[in-house]
Structure 1
Amino acid sequence: MSIADKKSEVEQMMIEACKRSNRQIDDVNMIAVTKYASLETTKSVLDHHMLHIGESRWQDAKSKWEQLADRGTWHFIGHLQSNKAKDVVGKFDYIHSLDRISLADAIEKRAAQLDITVNCFVQVNVSGEAAKQGIAPEQCAEFCQSLLAYRHLNICGLMTMAPLDENTENSRDVFRGLRQLRDELNQKAIFNQPIHHLSMGMSNDFQVAIEEGATWVRIGTRLVGKEE
């Protein structure tokens, strides 16, 4: 299948998931994850009007960003080491993996130097898997409260990853848990305005994520395959 065909297939699946959950397709955004894709494939993704690009390591994204940065909106979706924040801040419009104060410090320092505000998702380990990054759900409110001190961070939502499972229904409780956690944070009015976004769902389980309230889904292999 061509990238155009794959895009059409994913978009149709997104529409069907929205219909099942009485949502509007305009409320859900797709990030084309190109972390395993070449420069040429990433260019093709942009040529097909998929303008939100997801990368997880700066060393892999560097050549793509240097040549294609002005053509899309860039999302850093991987684990970000604090000492690498200086490479990412100012280049990526969104960071989906804020999960500790040391990283908040590093993002704030670089953003202040550049006089910009960085859109951040707080990563939550809803599933509790030891191999997953993210803060524990019960620590989320306190962590978010501490982020109010950072003037150059805009907390726009929460992110999580569900366990890999052939039965995507097993992801539903994880995605529902993140939505409920967001709603609880908004009820507590921790931030000056309610946070809206939920970054959750990948190639194998994005339909379930949409049914449970995802506003950003991260689609990689289903769109561009795996070229590494």
Structure 2
Amino acid sequence: MKEALEQIKEDIIKHAKISGRKSEDITLIAVSKTYPAEAIEEAISLGCEHFGENKVQELMNKVDVVKGNPKWHLIGHLQTNKVKYVIGHVELIHSVDSLKLAQEIEKQSAKKGVVTSILIEVNVAKEDSKHGIYVEDVLELVKAIAQLPHVKIEGFMTVAPFTEDPEENRPIFKALYDLSVDIQKQNIDNISTSILSMGMSNDYKIAIEEGATLIRIGTALFGARDYNR
């Protein structure tokens, strides 16, 4: 894992430079779904701070057992009936794609007296198998969520198609970056567009070149997943 992390850090430096940015502009989210607490704790010992989980139950189990105070991110689809479990435990919810979900986050955040940071999940490629809203629907949703006092939009997230050639996803990442610029120009109160969560193990280098600030990496860091664990 140490060698893998060093390689990822080198890639971040190299591709940030290509995009005219500093490596400090990019944060690694170690996607720890299916990996045991021991692997997460090893990653923490190597300097990883941020960890992403897809499922609420697995996330909450790890919140209780993982030592080292990691910063948790919910990157998978979130059902409204499970919002109450994650509020106050996560640094960022990456996967908000409806006003109904945002309103439930507002309700549960208000109960706990916290402001919850979120990203709007955008299905840039319009894949039927993926969650997220289409680019053309984002502005309307952003304006609606901006009215919620206990929810703070921090930017956008997308899951690009899996391709053999990561270069094929460059237009996807560029489109999300362009969207963030367009939304920023609207000067909507109570939102930021500073975070772009995009790029995974197979295409994070391209995502960095196109403006990613958060990259979500699992197998390239932890190794192959054991889904029978």
Normalising by structure 2, report the TM-score. Answer: 0.95
Q: Where does structure 1 lack aligned partners over 5 or more consecutive residues?
A: none
Q: Partner residue of 1:104?
A: 102
- Give the alignment's Cα RMSD to 1 decimal: 1.2
Pairing 1:75-90 to 2, within 5 Å after superposition:
75-90=73-88
Report whether the alignment pairs 1:211 with 2:190: no
Count of aligned pairs? 226
Stretch moving more, 111-120 or 62-71: 62-71
Q: Distance in 1 between matches of 2:78 and 2:182?
A: 26
Residue type of the alignment partner of 2:226: E
Q: Does structure 1 conserve the Cα–Cα contact (< 8 Å) formed by 2:153 and 2:192? A: no
Q: Partner residue of 2:112?
A: 114
Aligned pair partner of 1:161 in 156, 159, 162: 159
Q: Does structure 2 conserve the Cα–Cα contact (< 8 Å) formed by 1:121 and 1:158? A: yes
Q: Distance in 2 between matches of 1:18 and 1:211?
A: 6
Aligned pair partner of 1:126 in 118, 121, 124: 124
Could you list the per-position Cα deviations for residues 12-37 of structure 1 after superposition, in whole angstroms to 9, with x for gaps in the alignment?
A: 11111112222111111100010021
Pairing 1:13-92 to 2, within 5 Å after superposition:
13-68=11-66, 71-92=69-90
Q: Distance in 1 between matches of 2:189 and 2:209?
A: 26
Instruction: Find the residue that maps to 1:218 and give its secondary structure.
Output: strand
Distance 1:189 1:129, change over 3 A: same
Cα drift, residue 48 of structure 1: 1.3
Q: Distance in 2 between matches of 1:6 and 1:41?
A: 13
Residue type of the alignment partner of 1:227: D
Q: Distance in 1 between matches of 2:190 and 2:92?
A: 19
Distance 1:118 1:140, change over 3 A: same
Q: Distance in 1 between matches of 2:103 and 2:16?
A: 38
Q: Does structure 2 conserve the Cα–Cα contact (< 8 Å) formed by 1:42 and 1:64? A: no
- Which runs of structure 1 show a deviation greater than 4 angstroms over 4 or more consecutive aligned residues? none
Q: Does structure 1 conserve the Cα–Cα contact (< 8 Å) formed by 2:92 and 2:118? A: yes
Q: Partner residue of 1:142?
A: 140
Q: Distance in 2 between matches of 1:186 and 1:68?
A: 37
Could you list the per-position Cα deviations for residues 198-224 of structure 1 after superposition, in whole angstroms to 9, with x for gaps in the alignment?
A: 000000000000000000000100001
Report whether the alignment pairs 1:181 with 2:179: yes
Pairing 1:197-208 to 2, within 5 Å after superposition:
197-208=195-206
Instruction: Find the residue that maps to 1:79 and give its secondary structure.
Output: coil
Could you list the per-position Cα deviations for residues 157-194 of structure 1 after superposition, in whole angstroms to 9, with x for gaps in the alignment?
A: 00001100010011000000000000000111123464
Stretch moving more, 17-26 or 165-174: 17-26
Q: Does structure 2 conserve the Cα–Cα contact (< 8 Å) formed by 1:206 and 1:217? A: yes
Stretch moving more, 203-212 or 187-196: 187-196
Instruction: Find the residue that maps to 1:195 and give its secondary structure.
Output: strand
Q: Partner residue of 1:227?
A: 226
Identity %: 36
Residue type of the alignment partner of 1:116: V
Q: Distance in 2 between matches of 1:207 and 1:86?
A: 35
Q: Does structure 2 conserve the Cα–Cα contact (< 8 Å) formed by 1:198 and 1:216? A: yes
Q: Where does structure 2 lack aligned partners over 5 or more consecutive residues?
A: none
Q: Does structure 2 conserve the Cα–Cα contact (< 8 Å) formed by 1:38 and 1:227? A: no
Cα drift, residue 69 of structure 1: 6.7
